[in-house]
Each structure stands twice: as structure tokens, then as C-alpha cells.
Structure 1
Amino acid sequence: MDRGSERDTAPGRGAGDTAAGRIPLAVIVVDRDGLVSHWSSGARRLFGVGRQDAVGRPAADLLPVTGALPDHLQGGSTPDAGPAAYHGEPNGADAHGSSPDDELGPDLEASLGGGTSYATAGRARLCPPRRTPDDGDRADGERLDVLWWAYPLIGPGPARLLVLAADATRLREERGHDDESAERVAPGFARHTELPAFDELERRLPEILPNMGPGLSGRIVSQILELGYPILEFSQCERVPVTPYWGVPRRPGRVPADAAGIVVSRQRTAPVTAVPAGAEQDLEYAAVRERLEFLNEVSSRIGSSLDLGETIREVTSAAVPRFADFAGTHLRAAVLAGEGFPDGPPDASTVMFRVWVEHNDEPGRWDDTVPVGEAFAFPEHTPFYQCMVTGEPVLIPRVTDEMGDRISGQFEKRDLRPLINGRSLLIVPLKARNVVLGFMVLIRRPDRPAFDDMDRTTGAELAARAGLVLDNARMYTYQENVADTLQDSMLPQVAPRTAGCDVATRYLPGTRLGRIGGDWFDTIKLPGSRTALVVGDVMGHGLNSAAMMGQLRTAVQTMAAMQTPPAQLLRNLDDLARRLGDNYLATCLYAVYDPIRGEVTLANAGHIPPVLVRAEDGSSELLELPTGAPIGVGGVPFEAARVRVSPGDRLVLCTDGLVEVRGSDIGEGLAALCESAAHPAASMDDACDTIIRALNTRGGRKDDVALLMARLNGIPADHVAEWRLDAEPREVGRARRLVREQLRAWGLPEAVETAELLVSEVVTNAVRHAEGDRVGLKVVRTDALLFEVTDDAPDLPDMIAAGPLDESGRGLRVVSRLAREWGASATGHRKTVWFEQAVTGSR
């Protein structure tokens, strides 16, 4: 080593003439309480204490870090107190751990409550309690000569001190100086810009930080570079930067260091020291141990969410920067879309999506050439296709210019060569149940060691764990899509307007059990311009509840079309639920609005009461209804109640998920519902949104929410015309004349011709088949013309096929062809045939 004076050497010159020191480091992290929180395998080998025994112990009992810990945490051990008792004082550093010529980063606040805010360094002698197999050739009772660097840490998290330590005894032996006075070695600090390859510590240190993720390790390394780069000062004339060493070199000509030594060449051409016997096995063990720790850490990080997108980001980010400098994840289209498990292996026609990219290059370097979200089929004769088809990792230690040209030539209008040439490439398949779901591309920069066989094994294991997590997320996404599809198919497509009534609805899935439940709402058009409003809630959640909801909703629609009165409908529904099974329990509120009479008839089966908002004064009230038992209980009568309403009044029906929160009184939720329902709104949708915003912010809501709001507009008396006809053929002509005059009075002459034809056909059928002597005819004007013809014959009409010579059977076919909608219903011994006729320019 040159013995020139440091004063005569420009900063960085001396360091630039020597190779960086490669030294196995013990890495320890101390928390804010002065306890060891992280203990690397190098610390176990140096201090003879295992990780399980060290973590949670006071750092002062294990480490020689005088001056780095606050006073109240420096209760160090006596010589016989601990496994590594401290003797002596720091050496080679001033009170702040730096020599007068050192220039450190900006001052940091003291983060240990009284400790120094600067990085400190020192040298101490330790007396280990006993010899362990990891102590190598050290004799029992031999004192350790330890060099250490301590960095205070700031920021979130419990970590407050990082300690790096090395064995100075082996350092002297490697340099051929058994006498300590022959060459003085001391730890120190320097600005990282003064040293060659200063970024090697930044790149290598995260690999040996014990049990830390890239985010935390990156934050720690950045603080190290701010406070000062760790160096070794030899005889006050040469400063050698410290570089952590991990693993055994595979290529001949490179000499590995042992577990307790360091390799430092005095000049670039100087020979290096031989490796002691057995060191390769120890370093091999250390390398495997560190990689297993990396895989264990990755496994604990990925899969924290069943969201497919979040899982993809976790899997990709786990590899950068600790394992690779670039990671790109590609998945098959079927996996990404949640369409189920892919069938068979991929081939040349298989479309892959680039779903996420992570790298530590300069911003924008990869974005234009490999954009996220791109979908394409990988060409044959590329390593990507080879990995995708074979399901085996593909390793290219260095991508040559020729290989880069060949790979880039397979892709049209994109030049991959600047991104892959000279770099190390590893492509690993993402598999589940022996089917390839996609693959991950991993790339290292040229200044980083190339991928080797051990990296291929590590990458394959990383991909195997990632594939399992991705498949779990895929299955969850698929099941969620199935549940959502089932839920959507069960819920009706409610028309926003019926005769005399405007409707708005909202449905919010629950936050548990696959976002599917048994809440439902419905609106059903009834004869006489009436509308049925239904809200129900099946007990429980999941697919069974949704299936029960579908059965009950179908039953309600069927009975409503038969004009079953509300109380009788709930009784029939209760009987049906008990016949279907013992587990069929539900609450239901059924209301029928008659816009001509201006009244609502309601029946309740254990459901929360509705809210009526009066248009006259804006007040709101909970309607007091006879509350029956839930559907499926049986043996409990149901009663109906009639409520008079005025045009503009609003009726609000909802399920208990909106007003009931675990741990709170349901009365508070009902009061909030009344208050929010009375809030003025520009439209029905705005009114629903106001209610949702007011009540959905209540914490703890996990149940589904169904909300139905109806504005009861009513139908003016002058928009309704009704006549009584005799059951005689001559009354058909009178019916046509009455309809013609009424439509002209309403200013609808363009609708007369079609209306006369349709009324003639329906009244003719009623007169021909009526059992009584009276036939009723009603015309109601809303956004369409509604015609109703009533007679005393209970049998519903059928649409039959008529032959060329048949004189009858064509009337209902004409009605079906010309009317917008038509139907028939029976109540008691009477039936009603109705049809709607669209009106051009109607509201």
C-alpha cells in the first residue's frame, strides 16, 4: 500500500488507486427503546449470539456502541454480564465519530432521545463467552477486535439506530500484520462522492439488511449516504470504502473472503490472499440463508390483499431493487379479466397483458417501449415465448449485441436493444396448478452481478409463490364477478316512471361475504293505473340468500299481477316460504299506490317502516303500520293500512342495512333517515344520493342497502274518463264514439284511429263473453293512454292461432301488434283486459 501523505492526495485520489474493501458485515437495527429489532446472520457469526437470543435484548448488552445510545440506555454489561461484554473505548473517531477532515451530511435531529444526531464509529475489544461453531478458527477466550459504525435513523417506524460491525483481527491477518502497531486501522466516514463505486454499498447493503423490505432498507441506505460513507483508514494515509460481501464468486480468478475476513488489494495488480479452508462452505451457507430470508420476506409481503390489481403490484415490486433492477409482469387475458381458470397451455396466439412494471432506472426510460396495459402475443423464437410455452425459467447471463438484435427484430416498431443489450435477463413463469398464468421478466444492469444458477432457483421460487398468490386473487375476482352477476340478475330494472308515480332506486352491496346478499326492491305495474312498491330483505348473506331472494321476488310479482291485496299477498308469501324450507326467513314491505284515489295501501312483514315526506310543508314521518312477523315464521296475521297522500308526496322504503349499525340504536338511524329524506332536492336521484351520503358515512355498516323512493304525483280527475256499457253488440260502436270524443277533447286527434280499432276489438270480446249485463270502459291519460275493459267473466283471454277461414281469434293479435303493452288480470269473479297506447309528444 502506498504510504503517501493524505494531505498530498486530492479527495478520492488515494481511494481511486485501490480496490474497494470487501468485508462481511454484521448488521444490527436498534429500536427506540434501545432493544435489538433486527440481527443479521453476520452478527450471529461475529458476536456468537443467535437471532432468537438477540432480538428483544438491550443493545448495550450485546454491542460496543458507546456514544451512540442515549445515556439512559447505556447500561452496558460488566465483563461477565453478557455474551459479548464491552471492554475499552471507541478508537479512531472524535466525539461525533469523525476525524476533523471528515465532512458529513446535514445535521439530523437526535432520534434516540438524548443520543447523538451524527454517525459514530469506534473500535472495541469484546470477550465472547464461549467458542461456537460459527467462530471459525478463533480459540476459546480469544478477544474480538471489533470495528463498528453506528447511524441514527429518522422517519416513521420503530428503527432508530443502524449498527455495522466487522472483525479487525482477521483484517490484520489478511493484510499480513499480526502486530497491531504495524499498521493502524480505524473506522471512519467520508462523503460518498469522494469514493469510486460509491453506489455499490447502496446496492448491496439492502441484500443483507435482516428481514427488511425494499422501502425500509432504501430509506436506511439513503440516510447512511447522507451521514457519511463507512470507510477503513489505514495508517492515516489511505481510506478504503467498505463494501458488504455476500456469497462465493463463481468465476475463476476471483478470490472469496471468509466469514470473518476482508479482501483488500493494495494495488489493482497486487496478488490477493488465499481463502482459509472451510470458508467457501460458510459463505455458501450465508448466501443461501440470505436468499431464504429474501423469499420469506417476499412471501410475507405479497398476498396481503385479494384484489387482483393490488396483488400484481405487490408481486412485481417485491423483486426491485433487491433482486433485480427491472421487473415486468405479464398475464394471460383470461386471468386478468377474471373469466375463470385458463384452459390448456399458452401458444403463439395467446394474448398477454403487461400489467405492471417496476424499475430503478431514470424515469421514463421504459415507459415508451414497454408501456403498462399493452396486450399482444409474443413472437416465437424469443426467450419470452420459450418461458411461456415450456413453463420453465429462461436465463441469459448477458444479452449480447447479436442476441439483442435477434430479440428486438421479433417486435415490430420497437427497439428493445438499449434496454436489454449487455444486461442480465431472467424470465420466470407464473404458474398455478401446473398451468402457466403468465411470466415475469427480470433484468439486471451491466454494473451488477449477472444472474446465475442460484438466482434462477431463487427467481423460480419467487415466481412459484407469486403464481399461487395471483391464482388466489384470480379465483376471488372470478367468484366476486359471479356473485355480482347473480346479484345484478336478481335485481329488477325499475322503470323511472309509471302512471302517476316517479321512482328512483339505489342498491349498495355489503362489505362482507362476497358483496352479495338478499336485499331487493321492485315496482310492479297493476291494473287501474296502480303501482306496487316492494322492498324486502332475506336473512343472511351469500349465494343462498340471493337465491332465496330471487324465489320470493318472483312469487311477489306473480301474486301482484293477480291483484292480490297486500295483506293476503304477505300471507301467501309466508306460506310459500315455509313450504320451501325452514331457513326461509325474510322481511317485506308491500305497498300499492292508487294515483286516482290518492291513497297508498301498505302491509308489513317485520320490516322497518317507510318514511312519508309531505309536499305541502316538507315534513317527514315514519308511518305507523301494523308490524307482522317476518316471512317464514308462520301463524301470525298480517294487516293492511291505508294512508291518504297528496300529489308531490314522497314515499321512502329501505332495508335495515341503511339505518342499522352494530353497537348503535336503530332509532338513531331512523331519525337520521327522516331528516335526510326531508331535505330538498332537485331530482329524485339527487334525493336518493342525499340519503345515501347522510347515512352511509356511519361507521360499521356491513349489510346490503336497498333504497326505493317514489314521488306520488297522482292523476288529475280530468285525465280520467270512465263509462258503463251494456253487454250488447251495439255498445261497441258507442264505445268507439266515446273514445273518439274524449281523445279529441284532450287534444290527441292523431291517436283516435288506433284507439278506436283497439277499443273495438277488446270491447267486442267482453260483450261476447261477458256473463253479466255490464261492461266497464276506462281511459287514463298519463305519459301514455291506458285503456281498461272490465267484465264479469273470470276466465282470462287467450291468444289463439286463427286460420284463413276462421271468423274469430284475431282480436288479441291486433292488440298485441298495435299496443305498446297489454295484459289481463282477474280479481274474484271479474277480469280486466288493459292495453297502453303510446302518444306522440306526450310527457
Structure 2
Amino acid sequence: MERGTPDGPVAKSALAGRIPLAVVVVDGAGLVSHWSVGARRLFGYAKEEAVGRPAGDLLPVHGALPEDREPHGAYDDGLGPDLETSLDGRISYPAAGRARLTEPEPGGTRADVLWWAYPLVGPGPERLLVLAADATRLTAPERPEWPERPEESEASGDLGREQVERIAPGFALHTDFPGADELAGRLPEILPSMSVDESSRIVAQILELGYPVLEFSQHDRVPVTPDWGVARRAERKARKERAERAAARGVPPSAYAAGADGDGDDDGEDIEYAAVRERLEFLNEVSGRIGSSLDLSHTIVEVSRAVVPRFTDVAGTYLREQVVAGEGFPEGPPDETTLWHRVAVEHTDEPGRWDDVVPVGESMPFPAHTPFFQCMTSGDPVLVPRITEEMGNAIASQFEKRDIRPLINHRSMLVVPLKARNVVLGFMILLRHKERPVFNDMDRVTGAELAARAGLVLDNARMYTYQESVADTLQDSMLPHIEPRMSGCDIATRYLPGTLLGRVGGDWFDSVKLPGSRTALVVGDVMGHGLNSAAMMGQLRTAVQTMAALDLPPEQLLRNLDDLAQRLGEHYLATCLYAVYDPIAGELHLANAGHIPPVLVRAEDGRSELLDLPTGAPIGVGGVPFESVRVRVAPGDRLLMCTDGLVEVRGEDIGVGLATLTESAAHPAASMDEACDTIIRALNTGGGRKDDVALLMARLNGIAAESVAHWRLAVDPSEVGRARELVREQLRAWSLDALGDSAELLVSELVTNVVRHSRSTRVDLRLVHAGALLCEVEDDDHTLPTLLSAGPDGEFGRGLRVVSTLAKEWGTSRTNSGKTVWFELSLPRR
């Protein structure tokens, strides 16, 4: 053993001794329910006298009982911690203390009692387990005699025999150690009147909270090492056997203790080994408890709960605000302007005591004079053995209108940085109650190692959270936000990523508004997965949007898309299904590039079918022709388009999935969203399907004939006035008189442009009343008009400027026979 001095450690030898432990159990009413032989020896009461009496009358465990009654002896000094708690199972950490007990009889001996109190929880009546020992045996010049009768043997521990200046009880935090099964098996011998179930429950809690230790130097803790629990080193067992053989030969114990067999230094090695082993086992346990999830908030809670109450009584975790927000932050150490976000506060105090003063979710800077600033700028732990009144006032000044001093003053504090890759992500403030030993240099090293491991886990969670946010943002930006109602149809969509670790992929859907109240519906799938596929998908989707706005026929659009994929790179392939719905004509115009066919559900009889389309080759193959087909549809029919991830399962024929898709699409549903959910559930996308899923469903409502008005006009200036009159009368018939002035003005400008500037031989005017008022002016000149800036004295250039200002939307497009200029006006609210 080594005992520290001002000039450094001094090597000492010690003889391993044994002292008995008194074992007492207290129930929820504060009454003694179990009283061991060791308790009878130490406190002087027989079991029959003690059981059923208030524990406060018998035990010097100040603070661990609901009220402290003075028992048969007086406690002269060194009472234990003031826990201010009760026996209702709410004690959340073990307590320890020391008391001097004077026997009431004249000439009674004086006992130096060390005690440990364990809170117990569970269905049984037991609420507190107390272990106690007489410390005077540690300083006795001779080894204590032990009873020969086995029924009087008690749980005991190996302790140093030499004279010591300071003795303090503590807890060696140790779980899952060799010998735990033996502890569970022998507990009935220690608590003879307890059932097996009760003893198992109590021993499990003892292993969780720790076993008692004696601290009698400035640097080392020596385990009490009960016979019924913690495993001994083989060297210690061998030394004991050699001591017994020496005693049998008549060798004095003092000579053997001085190292007659060369064993005098082994105890010092054992002590050092036990102290280091305790911390290594604690760090190993913490490492096993944290990092079970890549979720940042869950990881923070794991780290906080791993150290409370085993290593500390309070743990407050702060992270850079940018880390919590998933953002980057500038290089270099933080400064006084850096905001730190309080993400967790774990403690063993009564509920709510910390919540109002230091609530989770608050952000604040820390000035340079605080130990927190020193920790985060240096990247090293900062140890404050006791928070003085002056330091408490300085720290409390950071909390406006909240007095934190009662929570921190006179406590031991250790501030450890949470850093990874030499970057400080945050820090943890660890506080111990006044009753516990202060943090020491070994605790500083343990805290630094703990913070290093926790910092790496937090950084992994931070990077995962950041990458997940980037992936979600990228995928969200590439997938369109489709209006649920288009002209003549309703649309519902679903997108499901194939894997949790790959949130971006190449599947997409889209819809594009076309002239003539038509809508283009698109579903595509870039082969592969990840960012490369998502980037390719973004380029193809943009190209489809652009070419669809030019009103290209479906087969020509896929032809142009194939040429574009060839120019982008020969390693990219994609499938695509493109359909144009004309609600006035009641027709679908479709073309397929290697995609699975769509499903059409007939409203008339509820029958569903896979549309027979020319399959075509995937986009990117090159040199393959594409064909289109036209399919007649009725109002209420539903079109379902999806990617193969919905129907394809590895090891199964895709025909099985297509059949299930066709069947599930025909099921009636109250809404489009419910219909999509029914299909997703039927095909079990969360099971064996690992590919992305894009699903688009459109209900083809059509536009009734009475909602469409069409006129053919001559290319003559006199037709402009006639066009205004036709529009006014039609709007009156549709009860849209409020739109009359705006619609007449805009129609007049468009017809005038055709009469004045085009080489057309005809002018067609059409009004469509479907969700908005759509007006189209078509002629047979392919030259598209452009928006010009008209000067103060200019004669031309104001017509389209007026249209652009007054219309909700407007546009131009080429047709097979010429061009169309159109505009939309919002319907008046009713």
C-alpha cells in the first residue's frame, strides 16, 4: 500500500485483515426487518430486540433514515450525509457515513462505525439495506480474533492492518464481476430470513449501485472485498495460504507482515491494481452503454445517464449551438461569443429542483473567467475540488433572475470537454454532493477518458444527423410538391426510401401543366442508388419538365431524353413512363421507356387492368425507337403509375407483385391518400423490398362539355370586338360576371396580336371553366410572341405586359399546326 505525504508517496507494507460486516434491512415504515449476527455484535442488540423497532433508534445512519433519533449511544462526530429522504423507495443513490458510538454503560467501549446505505426498490417491503463495520479494528495492533462457530460468520472484507490517519467510507462502482453468482447464492446466509426472490432482487440492486470501499489515502481506494461478492486476485489467495502455513510453523504474524517471504509489496500492488481496475471497469461499462443509436438526442441522454449516479451526482451537457442545429462552425477554439446549448441535465436530486433554474434547451455564452471557458478553449478537464462562495457568485451571474448558488456551492466540480478530431463539440459539468469524496486527479483522468469516448460517439451521431439532413434536403428538393388538384384531375403521391442509411435515390414522379387544360404525368427510375443516381434523376427530371412545356408528343419527348442521357454519360440508365391526360377529349396519350406498365381502374365497374404498352428500351441505351398509344378514359377512372421497387421482391417473380398491385388498386377508398396507403400496405414495402418506391395516382375527373366554349374567328380587326362580346356573354352564363372586365381586356389583347402581327389564316378562341378560368387563343403561325419593354412613346409592346400583370398565369407553346397563347384567371370566392 502507498500512503501519500507532502513529499510524495511512501511505500508501506500492510497485513491483510478481516472485519465483520453488520447487515440490517429496513422496511418502508422505517422498521428493522432483518438483523444479522454482526449487527448484534456491533450495536449490542439481539435479533429479537431489534426486529420491528424503528431503525433510527438503533443505527447511526444519519440522513439515510426519515428522521434521526438518538439511539442507545451518542454519535460524537462525523455524521453522514444529509439526504433528506424517506424510505419510500425514492432514494436514487447509495449513501455512506461515519459515526462514533459510545456505549451507555459506565466504562463502555467506543466504536468507530463506518456505514453504507443502499436504497432498494421493487415489489417487496424492504426499502433500505445498511452495511456497517467497526473501523477501530483497522487501527488495532493485533489481528482480531474470529469466531470458530460457522453460524456466527459474517460477510467480511480484506483490509489493511497498519495505522492510518484518515478513514472514509465510499462505494467501489463494480458490476458484472466474477463472483456475482456466488454472491447471489450466499445472500440467504447473510439475510437468513429472506426468501430467494427477495434476496435476488436485493443483490441485483447491490451490484448495480456498487460495493463498499474504504478510502484511507489521498490517492487510493481499497475495496472491502466481501467474501460473498467481489473476486480476489490469485496472488492474495496464495499469500493467505502462505501466512497460514507460516503460522502453523510458529512464525509470528508481525514478522510475516514485515515481508519475511517477500510478500510485503504485494498489498501495495493489489491496492493500485484494485483502484485502476475499478476505473477501467467503469469506463468499459460506460462505453458499452453509450453509442447504441446514431440519433444525436438519444446519444446525449445515454452519455448523461451513464455517469449518474455512478461517477457523479449531477451531469449537465452543453453542445455548440451549431452542432445541435446540424450546421458547420468556424475553425479554431470557441470564444466568449460562442453560444452553448444545454441539451441534458441528469441528477439525483429531488424531481424538478434543477428544471426551473437550468432548463434544457437554453443557449448561453460563457465569459473567460469561468472554468467552463477554460475547459472549452484548452480542451483539457478543469477540476474544482470545492466551489467556493466567490466562484459560486461568479457562475450565478450568468443566470439572470435565477439563483443557482444553492445548487452548486460547496460541491466538487469537474468540467470535461467533449471533443473529437481535436474539435471541441461541447462539455459536461459534473458535480458531486458535499457528502461524497471530492474529485481527485484520478477522477480527472477518468473524466477525460470518459469525455473522449463520449465525444467520439457524439461526433458520429452529429455527422450522421448532418448527412441525414443533407440527404433529406436533397431528396426533398428534387421531388416536386405536386398540387393535389390539376385541371380535370386529382393527384396523390408517395415516396419511400429503400433503406434507412440511404435516404436519396433515383426514383421520381412529376406533373406538368400543359396547354388545353391537359396534364403530363411522369414516373421514372434511375438505376442504382445513392447520390449519383439522385443527381442523374435531377437532371432527367429537369429535362422532362422543359420538354413537356414545349408540348412535345410523348414518344418524341422520350427520344430527346434518351439523347440527353447519352450525352450525360454512358453509365447511366433509367426507365420512364410519360402520359398526357386530356380531360376535354377524355384521352390518355402514353409512351414507355422500359418501365413497368401503369394500372387503369375503371370507375364504371371497378375493374383494374395493366395497360398494354410498347415496352421500349430504358433511357440511355440509345438508338431504340419509342412508340405511343392513346387510351380512352371516362370521368372517375384512376391511373396508377409506380416504380418497380413497389412490386419487385428479390427471389420472386415480378408478375406476383404486378398482380397484387392490380388487385389492391381496385379496392374502394374514401380518398386518394387512403387509396395510396392501401396499396403500400398490400405490397408490404417495409418487408423484403429494399428499393426506393415512387407512386403517383391520378383520378381522371374530366371536364364536362358545358364547361368548355369554343369559337373560330376570322383574321380581321372587326373580330376583336366580337371576341369581347362572346366572352362577356359566356361568363354571364357561367355566373362569372366578376371576371368580365379582366377577361375581355386580356382576350382583346391576344386576338389583336394575332390580327396585327401573325401571318395566320384563322384564329380559335376557347374558354374552359374548371377550377379556374382558362382562355386560349390559337392560330396557325409558329412564331411565338415575346414579352417586350415598351418605351414612353412606343406604339407596340404593351399587350403581353398587360396580360402578364393581370393574369394569374400565362404562357405560349407550339402545336402541330401553329401556336397557342393562354392565360388563367382565379375564380372569385363565394
Question: TM (normalized to structure 2)?
Answer: 0.72
Q: Which residue is 1:249 aligned to?
A: 217
Counterparts of residues 618-657 of structure 1 (less than 5 Å): 618-657=606-645
Q: Is the 8 A contact 2:527 2:573 kept in 1?
A: yes
Unaligned runs of 5+ in 1: 20-154, 156-170, 191-199, 231-241, 263-272
Give the CA deviation at 1:403: 4.0
* Compared CA separation, residues 465 and 411, structure 1 to 2 (3 A): same
Partners of 1:498 and 1:692 in 2: how far apart? 24
Q: Is the 8 A contact 1:789 1:833 kept in 2?
A: yes
Aligned Cα root-mean-square deviation (Å): 4.0
Aligned-partner residue type, residue 444 of structure 1: R
Partners of 1:378 and 1:525 in 2: how far apart? 55
Counterparts of residues 438-457 of structure 1 (less than 5 Å): 438-457=426-445
2:708 is equivalent to residue 705 of structure 1: no
2:819 is equivalent to residue 831 of structure 1: yes
Partners of 1:570 and 1:716 in 2: how far apart? 31
Counterparts of residues 681-760 of structure 1 (less than 5 Å): 681-696=669-684, 698-760=686-748
2:369 is equivalent to residue 381 of structure 1: yes
SS at match of 1:515: coil
2:775 is equivalent to residue 787 of structure 1: yes
Q: Which residue is 1:610 aligned to?
A: 598
What's the CA shift string for 1:739-774, capped at 9, x where partnerless? 222222222222222222111111121223333422
Partners of 2:711 and 2:463 in 1: how far apart? 63
Partners of 1:331 and 1:460 in 2: how far apart? 17
2:340 aligned to which of 352, 356, 373: 352
2:171 aligned to which of 190, 204, 218: 204
SS at match of 2:646: coil
Partners of 1:685 and 1:811 in 2: how far apart? 43
Aligned-partner residue type, residue 458 of structure 2: L
What's the CA shift string for 1:754-808, capped at 9, x where partnerless? 2221111111212233334222221111121111111221121111122222211
Partners of 1:627 and 1:251 in 2: how far apart? 80
Counterparts of residues 339-418 of structure 1 (less than 5 Å): 339-378=327-366, 381-401=369-389, 403-418=391-406
Aligned-partner residue type, residue 757 of structure 1: L
What's the CA shift string for 1:83-108, capped at 9, x where partnerless? xxxxxxxxxxxxxxxxxxxxxxxxxx
Q: Is the 8 A contact 1:316 1:327 kept in 2?
A: yes
* Compared CA separation, residues 309 and 211, structure 1 to 2 (3 A): farther
2:556 is equivalent to residue 568 of structure 1: yes
Aligned-partner residue type, residue 507 of structure 1: Y
Aligned-partner residue type, residue 362 of structure 2: E
Give the CA deviation at 1:249: 2.3
Give the CA deviation at 1:484: 1.5
Partners of 2:821 and 2:198 in 1: how far apart? 87
SS at match of 1:207: coil
Aligned-partner residue type, residue 739 of structure 2: A
Q: Which residue is 1:815 aligned to?
A: 803
Identity of aligned residues (%): 65
Q: Is the 8 A contact 1:428 1:459 kept in 2?
A: yes
SS at match of 1:627: coil
Give the CA deviation at 1:596: 0.7
Aligned-partner residue type, residue 532 of structure 2: N
Question: TM (normalized to structure 1)?
Answer: 0.71
Q: Is the 8 A contact 1:727 1:770 kept in 2?
A: no
SS at match of 2:713: strand
2:335 is equivalent to residue 337 of structure 1: no
Q: Is the 8 A contact 2:520 2:581 kept in 1?
A: yes
Give the CA deviation at 1:299: 2.8
* Compared CA separation, residues 396 and 715, structure 1 to 2 (3 A): same
Aligned-partner residue type, residue 327 of structure 1: A
May I ask how many residue pairs the two structures share in their alignment?
Answer: 659
Give the CA deviation at 1:625: 1.7
Q: Which residue is 2:104 aligned to?
A: none
Give the CA deviation at 1:453: 0.2
Q: Which residue is 2:284 aligned to?
A: 296
What's the CA shift string for 1:499-555, capped at 9, x where partnerless? 111112222233244311111111101111110000111111221111111110111
Give the CA deviation at 1:825: 0.8
Partners of 1:172 and 1:324 in 2: how far apart? 28
SS at match of 1:653: strand
Aligned-partner residue type, residue 811 of structure 2: G
1:516 aligned to which of 461, 480, 504: 504
Q: Which residue is 2:665 aligned to?
A: 677
Aligned-partner residue type, residue 385 of structure 2: P
* Compared CA separation, residues 571 and 352, structure 1 to 2 (3 A): same
Q: Is the 8 A contact 1:512 1:702 kept in 2?
A: no
Q: Which residue is 1:548 aligned to?
A: 536
Give the CA deviation at 1:601: 1.1
Q: Which residue is 2:420 aligned to?
A: 432
Q: Which moved more, 1:6-15 or 1:691-700?
A: 6-15
1:507 aligned to which of 488, 495, 508: 495
* Compared CA separation, residues 274 and 764, structure 1 to 2 (3 A): farther
Partners of 1:561 and 1:412 in 2: how far apart? 60
Counterparts of residues 436-515 of structure 1 (less than 5 Å): 436-515=424-503
* Compared CA separation, residues 803 and 655, structure 1 to 2 (3 A): same
2:284 is equivalent to residue 317 of structure 1: no
* Compared CA separation, residues 443 and 808, structure 1 to 2 (3 A): same
Aligned-partner residue type, residue 471 of structure 2: A
SS at match of 2:657: helix
SS at match of 1:701: coil
Partners of 1:203 and 1:488 in 2: how far apart? 56
Q: Is the 8 A contact 2:385 2:439 kept in 1?
A: yes
Give the CA deviation at 1:16: 5.9
Counterparts of residues 175-194 of structure 1 (less than 5 Å): 176=142, 187-188=153-154
Partners of 1:505 and 1:685 in 2: how far apart? 8
Partners of 1:703 and 1:228 in 2: how far apart? 48
2:270 aligned to which of 282, 285, 297: 282
Q: Is the 8 A contact 1:329 1:438 kept in 2?
A: yes
SS at match of 2:526: strand
What's the CA shift string for 1:299-338, capped at 9, x where partnerless? 3432232221222122222222322222221111100110
Q: Which residue is 1:421 aligned to?
A: 409
Give the CA deviation at 1:817: 0.9
Q: Is the 8 A contact 1:204 1:244 kept in 2?
A: yes
Partners of 1:758 and 1:255 in 2: how far apart? 94
* Compared CA separation, residues 342 and 360, structure 1 to 2 (3 A): farther
Q: Is the 8 A contact 2:168 2:216 kept in 1?
A: no
* Compared CA separation, residues 666 and 340, structure 1 to 2 (3 A): farther
Q: Which residue is 2:293 aligned to?
A: 305
What's the CA shift string for 1:344-395, capped at 9, x where partnerless? 3323332222212333444334333333223233355333333233332121
Q: Is the 8 A contact 1:654 1:706 kept in 2?
A: yes
Partners of 1:456 and 1:372 in 2: how far apart? 26
Aligned-partner residue type, residue 768 of structure 1: R
Partners of 1:683 and 1:8 in 2: how far apart? 75
Partners of 1:664 and 1:186 in 2: how far apart? 73
1:539 aligned to which of 521, 527, 548: 527
SS at match of 2:644: coil
Q: Which moved more, 1:709-718 or 1:827-836?
A: 827-836
Q: Is the 8 A contact 2:392 2:409 kept in 1?
A: yes
Q: Is the 8 A contact 1:248 1:256 kept in 2?
A: no
Unaligned runs of 5+ in 2: 1-18, 20-40, 63-121, 123-136, 157-166, 204-209, 226-231, 240-256
Partners of 1:839 and 1:7 in 2: how far apart? 95
SS at match of 1:540: strand
Partners of 2:423 and 2:488 in 1: how far apart? 58
